[in-house]
Amino acid sequence: KQEVTQIPAALSVPEGENLVLNCSFTDSAIYNLQWFRQDPGKGLTSLLLIQSSQREQTSGRLNASLDKSSGRSTLYIAASQPGDSATYLCAVLNSNSGYALNFGKGTSLLVTP
Amino acid sequence: AAGVIQSPRHLIKEKRETATLKCYPIPRHDTVYWYQQGPGQDPQFLISFYEKMQSDKGSIPDRFSAQQFSDYHSELNMSSLELGDSALYFCASSPGDSGANVLTFGAGSRLTVL
C-alpha cells in the first residue's frame, strides 16, 4: 500500500524567507504527484501537478520537483508571504491501484509578518 | 470558470439518521471521486465513477452508497450515521478516467453527526 509522508508536520517562518516542504512515497509506480493547498476548514486547491515522466513544475513563486526513483518530491516556496499560511498536502496517484489519490498528512505552514 | 459544486455545504444529523451529499462536476468532466477527511486527518478515498459506472472503490463503509447519474452529477448516501462519520466530504472531478488528468476538488460538505 502506498504510504505518503510529509516533513515537517508544521513550519513557522518569517515573511520573505524561502522554504522547502518535503514529501516522500514508498511505491514509485505512480502516474503523477500533486501538491494541494488547504485553508482551515476549506477545500483543496491544486497548486502543481507533476507527471511521472517530469522532473519539475513551476507556477509563480512555487516550484515542485519529483524524483520518482527515490520516492521524493519537494515544494519550494520563494519569498514567502503571510497569505501563504495554510496546510500543504502532497498526493500521489498510483498506476497500479485504480485512480485514487493517496494523500500525505500535510505540512501546516505559518508565515509571520 | 465553473468549478465542482457540492451541496449542502454544512449538514447536521443525529446518530442513526441518513444523509445525502450531492456533487456537480465541472461541465464535460465524466469522472467523479469522493473523499472523506476526518478532523486533523488527510483525505481518504471512498469511491469513484466514470461514465456512470463505479470505477474504483476505497475505504467506503457498507453503510454508504453512491451513484453517478446521466447528467454526471453524483450523490453519496450515508445511512445509520455514526459519530465517526463526522467529517469533511470532498468531491472531485476530472475529464476522463485517466491518471494523467488533474482532479479538481469542490469546497466540500461538512457533516456533523450528533
pLDDT at B7: 96
Residue with cell 469533511: B88
Cβ-based neighbour number of residue A53 at 10 Å: 9
Q: How far apart are the C-alpha atoms of B53 and B47, rounded to whole Å? A: 11
CA distance B92 to B14: 27
Tally Cβ neighbours within 10 Å of residue B101. 18
Q: One digit per residue, pLDDT tens: chain A, 113 residues?
A: 889 999 999 999 999 999 999 999 999 888 889 999 999 878 888 899 998 899 999 999 999 999 999 999 999 999 999 999 999 999 998 876 566 788 999 999 999 99
B-chain residues near A31 (CB < 8 A)? 99-100
With contacts defined as CB-CB under 8 Å, which chain A residues touch B88?
41
Percent of chain B's residues with pLDDT above 70:
95
A43 vs B33: CB contact, 8 Å cut-off?
no
Instruction: Considering only the C-alpha atoms of chain A, give the largest distance between any 2 of them, rounded to a whole number of Å.
Output: 44
Question: Is the CB of B103 less than 8 angstroms away from the CB of A101?
Answer: yes
Amino acid at B35: Y
What residues contact A71, with CB distance under 8 A and at least 6 apart?
A: A24, A25, A26, A27, A28
Q: Is A46 close to B106, i.e. CB distance below 8 A? A: no
Q: Nearest Cα to A93, choosing from B2, B31, B9, B106?
A: B31
> In chain B, which residues have their Cβ closer than 8 Å to the Cβ of A45?
105
Residue B45 has pLDDT above 70, yes or no: yes
Q: Is B105 in contact with A105 (Cβ distance < 8 A)?
A: no
Identity (one letter) of the amino acid at B98? S
B25 touches chain A (CB under 8 A): no
- C-alpha distances (whole Å) from B43 to each of A38, B7, B49, B64 are 11, 18, 18, 17
pLDDT > 90: percent of chain B: 73
